[in-house]
Copies of this chain bind each other. A is one copy, B any other.
Amino acid sequence: MTETATASVVAASIADSTAGSKSEQAYQAIKARIVEGTYTPGYRLVLAAIAKDLGFSVVPVREAIRRLEAEGLVKFERNVGATVAGIDPTEYLYTMQTLSIVEGAATALSAPLVGEADIARARAVNAEMRDCLQHFDPVRFTRLNQDFHSVLFEHCPNPHILDLVHRGWNRLASLRSSTFRFVPGRAHQSVDEHEALLRLIESGADADTIEKAARLHRSATLDAYLSQTNLKDHS
């Protein structure tokens, strides 16, 4: 297979992996670049350009983009092209609200299956987050935040819901930095709520209580963001 010499290094390194079809490879590559921030929101995704860069033809790239569109990571307009889905404040609001609901549900469903080891791991992550509050690094903090919540919802027995949660997180990841960059004050409170959430799960609280707590935890972040940006247009 004579890979085009112009294929970028990063693309090649991804393509080399055992990933099957080129569609899949393209999907992974583009997604990575969006999440990582190489392709910033609003960036115009030109099929031919990406294809040349990745070293294969446009057909797999098209499919990859369609998949990303379905996930909401890119916006697609017929006969015009695809752009990286920006995080329109409104979109952000919608995504956070949706995530609050599905993540809340996933966490509640997951709770009975969360063992002591998981709790311990989550607590360790939360401790790191607390440390992180000193010399505050929003990006790192957000990363830890995802780790923390992952522990809590990954045991969710319903794969559909779990998938929805992952999609939500992915969309938020497009926000290169993090919510906490905009509302640093929220970070401190967030850590405390994490501990409270852990206690709830440990004590075997009923599903409804856990769900509400998890949902509120996220809504609070959203509200903090909203009051910060003076968005009157509240759904």
The verdict on A158 contacting B94 (CB below 8 Å), with A70-B70, A105-B101 known, is yes
The verdict on A164 contacting B78 (CB below 8 Å), with A67-B66, A70-B70, A157-B235 known, is no
Of all chain B residues, the one with the shortest Cβ separation from A157 is B235
Q: Is A59 an interface residue (CB 8 A)?
A: yes
* A159 and B102 form a contact (CB under 8 A): no
* A78 and B20 form a contact (CB under 8 A): yes
* B157 and A98 form a contact (CB under 8 A): no
Interface of A is mostly: helix
Chain A contact-residue range equals 20 to 34
Q: Which of B63, B101, B109, B161 contacts A66 (CB 8 A)?
A: B63
Of all chain B residues, the one with the shortest Cβ separation from A95 is B160
* A158 and B97 form a contact (CB under 8 A): yes
When distances are taken between beta carbons in the complex, the residues of chain B under 8 Å from A164 are 98, 164
* Interface members, chain A 92-110 (any B CB < 8 Å): 94-95, 97-98, 101-102, 105, 109
* A160 and B98 form a contact (CB under 8 A): yes
A70 to B76, CA, bound (A): 16
